[in-house]
Amino acid sequence: MIVVLNNKSNLNQEQFLGYQKQLEDIISDHKLVLCPSNIYLADFYLENLSLGVQNVSPYEEGAYTGEIASSQLKSLGVSYAIVGHSERRLYFHENEMDLKKKIESLLKYEIIPILCIGEMEKQDGLRVVESQLEILKAIDKNEQVIIAYEPVWAIGTGQVPTIEEVEKVISFIKGKFPQNSVIYGGSVNEENIYNLKSSLLNGYLLGGLSLKPDRLRQFLNQLDR
């Protein structure tokens, strides 16, 4: 399984350094990926986790003020990148064209894209997911993209779909992209993981829980039960 930790826009530098120290002794058979704020990428030293980012520039290195290109991320040891998180689609108006460019740029530098998809409201799951998956069809080597199903209504709300609801969407995605890994995100924690396990899932994307190392440890223990 792959467990991706999305810190979002949290932690000042002192807090990040303390947090990273708390992650030092986490041992897991699962692939753990930490996606901190970009300003801490160069502070990352953990050997038990891989390094990821929460976003990437759609452009190559050059005159794009404020953006960080895939080649630059690669030089810092980044091996995963979240793309198209609902918060970026919503607040930063990322469109499908941007996402396609981002994914292509990441693949060029051998960084694994984690494409987030998911419906806003509690209905329409399949229709939204189907249209958000369209961009993958236009991308070479798209089987390397990890697809993260994150129903927007479940993010940070404490509300989670039933495992049957999750499986319905995951089966649909796997029907279209059988070779891709598919993970679930949205209010996952050390308690509800019991109800969110499925042989169809290849992992989880954690937001709030990623910031709580003790609870994260419990989550990883539960995942193995």
- Contacting residue, 53, 196, 205, 223, with ligand 13P by CB under 6 A: 205
Known catalytic membership, residue 93: no
Sign of CA dihedral 149, 154, 156, 158: negative
Chain positions 82 to 141 lying near ligand 13P, rule: CB under 6 A, are: 85
Asked if residue 185 binds ligand 13P (CB under 6 A), the reply is yes
Asked if residue 190 binds ligand 13P (CB under 6 A), the reply is no
Residue 147 host element (H or E): strand 146-149
Known catalytic membership, residue 85: yes
Q: Name the one range near ligand 13P by CB under 6 A: 36-44, 123-131, 137-145, 148-156.
A: 148-156
Asked if residue 5 binds ligand 13P (CB under 6 A), the reply is no
Residue from 96, 150, 164, 167 carrying the catalytic annotation: 150
Asked if residue 7 binds ligand 13P (CB under 6 A), the reply is no
**What DSSP string runs through 25-91?**
T---SSEEEEE--GGGGGG---SSSEEEES---SS-SSS-TT---HHHHHHTT--EEEES-HHHHHH
Q: Which residues are catalytic?
A: 85, 150
